Amino acid sequence: MHLSKPIRNIILIELFVPVLLLTIGIYHGLMQVIYRAGVIHQSSFAKLDYYQGLTLHGVINAIVLTTFFAVAFGHATIAFHLKKEPNYRASMLSVCLMVGGTLMAAWAMLMGKASVLYTFYAPLKAHPLFYLGTALLIVGSWVAFFDWVTIYSKWKKDNSEVNTPLAVLGTLVNFTIWFVCTLAVAYEVLVLLIPWSMGWTPTVNVSLTRTLFWFFGHALVYFWLLPAYIMFYTILPKLAGGKLYSELAGRIAFFLFLLLSIPIGVHHQFGDPAIGRGIKLTQSILTFGVAVPSFITAFTIAASLEYAGRKRGAKGLWNWVWKLPFFDKNVYLFGYLINGLILFIFGGLTGLVNASYSLNNVIHNTAWVPGHFHLTVAGPVFLAILGMSIFMTSQLTGKKIFLPKINTIVPYLWTVGVLIFSTGLMWGGLLGEPRRTNLGLTYLNPESELYNPYWVITTMLGLAGGGIMFAAGLLYFIVFFGTFLSKRTAEPVIDFPISEVYHTEKRVPIFDTFRPWLVAMGVILFMAYVPAIMDTLNNNGKKAPPYLPTDPAPVISTIEKK
Amino acid sequence: MLDKFERTVIGVALLVSALFIFCLFYAMGAKKGNVTECLPYDKSYEDARVSQVDKNTYQVFYVARMWNFEPSVVYIPVGSEVDFFVTSKDVVHGFDISEKNVNLMGVQGAVAKTTVKFDKPGVYKVTCHEFCGTGHQNMQAEVIVNYPSK
Ligand code: HEM
Ligand SMILES: [Cu+2]
Ligand SMILES: [Cu+2]
């Protein structure tokens, strides 16, 4: 499909800006494993403090990159499937808000005024522009979404008896989740934290801010994941040379995500005081509910791939696996997606440990946790983003991929790296190695009283794996920027490979309408979260003034000074 | 609609989830694993102290601050049962005794509580595992079990 030049450019900016920033994120990923392994015993390196860098790493990799990509991919998906371009003014406003917000937050972080990590837990205080910038980034993504909703409503009026294309359904479900969950964090940031960080209100309820953050924080991980799921369902089977086993399964999975992605955020707060055990247990159990759509997806995708392998002449029980086009540079996207799926098997299983209520005590906030989520967000999510960003860039600029062979091996190299890296971190976590800690200064410093020799091997594994990940990241940058800078050889277009469906299925109206699902979503959310919020309001007995990360004494607010 | 295989898979997925949930309850019941108790807060939790309730039962009230725990060293006879209470006087801190699967968050204005039995002598490290500012990596305390008292 042909897209007008301004829309193409907006999408390209939404790919280019976050990937440019990602260079900082990946650089500091490498630095983190170096510090943590005790290779250097310093609080900062090349003018970048460990925790400042970790904030950049979390915000850029997990929030900026993922949000920009979801919007860019959403624009392309909606336009391609509904054959209608997004509105220029809305898209322009959206990208300006997102870029502007990102620049504000980046400034605050790079100036060292916001070293509070990407969770910005109060009462640690960041510069107001850090909060405002993040909020604008989010609002910008809403604007794009509102525009898609208008396009979709018009389309649906004309096509009321036609199934909404699965990719469009997935995109709309994803941004509905995103819109609802970000309302909580927008409230936290705009109503509670900005006035407090400006000194207009003296104190905040820490338990409440944490609970609002995690109302958003867990759904955030599904917001990362669903673009990858859309690719698994609608693109991967085609790349493999087969068909999608069942489209209905995809619809069911997406609607289950709509119901269950948000009301489980308290599973990040099992160790928090002020929230009752009943709420924690309920949300722990609901978390297992949200594993069901992932099981469904695993089966559907495996069945689709098996079909592809057999079409390519596979015999016997397992031979189909080896018939898939792993190293075919013409379908390099297959390599990115399949490696993500392989990592996700381990990511999903380790996630079940985290979700299991009291079992969470074994691993909460240890190195296990980053070990786990580099198998998810730095696994299927990140690899899908890398592969698709190259695919879209090449198509939207009409340029050939720079170094296509290198491009084909990037996901394999990355996967090997992550597997080693995560083994190290998860093992360390089981031995009590804390996350979010500059281990090189104390725990991995033989000169320090706190030195712990058990964590030498685990952090060394992290270093080895992290080094490989860094190398893969570097190769990706060469391919991505190389493609951007090369000469145009074709007409710019956007054409996604689209999987046909294996079963011919009748349209099931309930899986092609939003209203009843939205109502159910609201009801579940209400029941799961009203008690949690009430608990934080009732059980937290003292509000907290702001603190800078560098100073044990609170920041005196302007109100008190007067 | 869904075919036979898909229905089987959804059935199996539900069954597996049910199994996991059963395990979760088993861990609570048979293994007495649980998350922090939810207690109402009052100011007395901001006094760091150790108190002996009876011969084998102790209560330790920890106060986490940037960047240490108070009390920083606690002596407990082997075989004691100890209630740990944790609160924070400033930012959020972590409270992790890895060998005993004690894992709590220290939050200003709230108190976390768990109970542990120390059957084996040793030095148990209490590590802060939530980022709490530039001194976070220095923040560790000790529970010394079966040590001649000070
Ligand atoms: C070269 C590649 C990478 C390396 C070596 C790396 C390494 C690490 C390490 C060691 C940590 C833990 C630091 C600590 O807790 O003290 C960490 C945290 C994190 N990483 Fe990565 N990482 C890489 C790439 C990525 C990517 C691609 C993503 C996401 C798309 C990502 C997302 C995160 C997030 C969200 C955190 C948590 C930050 C926090 O705790 O505040 N990382 N990374
Ligand atoms: Cu979660
Ligand atoms: Cu601390």
**Segment A444-490, tens digit of pLDDT:** 999 999 999 999 999 999 999 999 999 999 999 999 999 999 999 99
Instruction: For residue A273, give the nearest of B6, B36, B101 by CB distance.
Output: B36
- More confident call, B136 vs A557: B136
- Measure in Å the smallest separation between the Cα of B46 and chain A Cα atoms: 11
Residue A394 clears pLDDT 50, i.e. is over it: yes
Q: Tell me if residue A436 is catalytic.
A: yes
Instruction: State residue A28's pLDDT score.
Output: 97
Residue A95 clears pLDDT 60, i.e. is over it: yes
What residues of chain B lie within 8 A of the CB of A248, using their CB? 1-2
Distance CA A389, CA A21 (A): 14
C-alpha separations of A309 from A341, A345, A380 in Å: 17, 20, 21
Element (DSSP H or E) covering residue B74: strand B73-76
Instruction: State residue A80's pLDDT score.
Output: 97
- Alpha helical stretches, state H, A159-235: 166-186, 194-197, 206-234
Confidence of residue B9 (pLDDT cuts 50, 70, 90): confident
Tokens 């790919």 map to which residue?
A: A15
What residues of chain B lie within 8 A of the CB of A288, using their CB? 17, 20-21
| Spatial contact of B50 and A289, defined as CB atoms under 8 Å apart | no
Fill in the amino acid letter for A343: L
Mutate to test the interface with B, among A204, A358, A547 (most CBs of B within 10 A): A358
> Do A450 and B140 make contact, defined as CB atoms within 8 angstroms?
yes
Nearest to B36 by CA among A535, A430, A368, A188: A535
Q: What share of chain A is helix, strand, coil (3-state, %, to 5)?
A: 70, 0, 25
Nearest to A110 by CA among A176, A24, A191: A24
Mean per-residue pLDDT, A345-358:
92
What residues of chain A lie within 8 A of the CB of B108, using their CB? 123, 206, 542, 544
User: Cα(A58) to centroid of ligand 1, in Å?
Assistant: 6
Confidence of residue A292 (pLDDT cuts 50, 70, 90): confident
Confidence of residue B7 (pLDDT cuts 50, 70, 90): confident
Instruction: State residue A138's pLDDT score.
Output: 97
- Measure in Å the smallest separation between the Cα of A240 and chain B Cα atoms: 21
Mean per-residue pLDDT, A67-95:
97
Residue A114 clears pLDDT 50, i.e. is over it: yes
Nearest to A366 by CA among A377, A353, A380, A383: A353
Instruction: State residue B2's pLDDT score.
Output: 74
Distance CA A361, CA A347 (A): 18
Q: What is the mean pLDDT of chain A?
A: 95
Nearest to A267 by CA among A257, A277, A256, A259: A277
> Do B41 and A542 make contact, defined as CB atoms within 8 angstroms?
yes
Question: What does the pLDDT look like over A238-271, one tens digit per residue?
Answer: 999 999 998 999 999 999 999 999 999 999 999 9
What residues of chain B lie within 8 A of the CB of A280, using their CB? 35
Residue B150 clears pLDDT 50, i.e. is over it: no
| Spatial contact of A13 and A95, defined as CB atoms under 8 Å apart | yes
Instruction: State residue A562's pLDDT score.
Output: 43
What residues of chain B lie within 8 A of the CB of A360, using their CB? 35, 103
> Do A277 and B110 make contact, defined as CB atoms within 8 angstroms?
no
Q: Tell me if residue A89 is catalytic.
A: no
Residue B49 clears pLDDT 60, i.e. is over it: yes
Instruction: State residue A504's pLDDT score.
Output: 78
> Do B105 and A272 make contact, defined as CB atoms within 8 angstroms?
yes
Q: Output the residue whose Cα is nearest ligand 1's atom 14.
A: A436
Backbone angles phi, psi at A491, to 5 degrees: -70, 135
Which mutation among A22, A32, A476 tests ligand 1's pocket best, with the greatest number of atoms within 8 A of CB?
A32
Catalytic-role residue among A374, A470, A480, A496: A374
Distance CA A408, CA A332 (A): 5
Q: Output the residue whose Cα is nearest ligand 1's atom 13.
A: A436
Confidence of residue B148 (pLDDT cuts 50, 70, 90): low
Mutate to test the interface with B, among A301, A304, A306, A357 (most CBs of B within 10 A): A357
Tokens 């909060």 map to which residue?
A: A131
**Residue-by-residue DSSP string for A221-281:** HHHHHHHHHHHHHHTHHHHHTS-BS-HHHHHHHHHHHHHHSSTTGGGG-TT-TTS-HHHHH
Distance CA A158, CA A174 (A): 23
Instruction: For residue B2, give the nearest of A206, A248, A277 by CB distance.
Output: A248
Mean per-residue pLDDT, B32-37:
88
Distance CA A199, CA A209 (A): 17
Instruction: State residue A448's pLDDT score.
Output: 95
Half-sphere exposure at residue A9, Cβ-oriented, CA atoms within 13 angstroms: 6
What number of other Cβ atoms are within 10 A of residue A405's Cβ? 11
Mean per-residue pLDDT, A139-166:
96
Which mutation among A28, A31, A49, A57 tests ligand 1's pocket best, with the greatest number of atoms within 8 A of CB?
A57
Q: Which residues line ligand 1 (CB under 6 A)?
A: A 26, 29-30, 32-33, 36, 54, 57-58, 61-62, 117-118, 370, 374, 377-378, 382, 435-437, 462, 466, 469-470, 473
> Do A540 and B65 make contact, defined as CB atoms within 8 angstroms?
no
Query: Tokens standing for A464?
Result: 């080895």
ipTM for the whole complex = 0.95
For chain A, give the percent of residues with pLDDT over 70: 99
Mean per-residue pLDDT, A82-97:
97
Distance CA A551, CA B50 (A): 28
| Spatial contact of A133 and A101, defined as CB atoms under 8 Å apart | yes
Q: Tell me if residue A218 is catalytic.
A: yes
User: Cα(A181) to centroid of ligand 3, in Å?
Assistant: 29
Distance CA A435, CA A57 (A): 14
Question: Three-state SS for A495?
Answer: coil
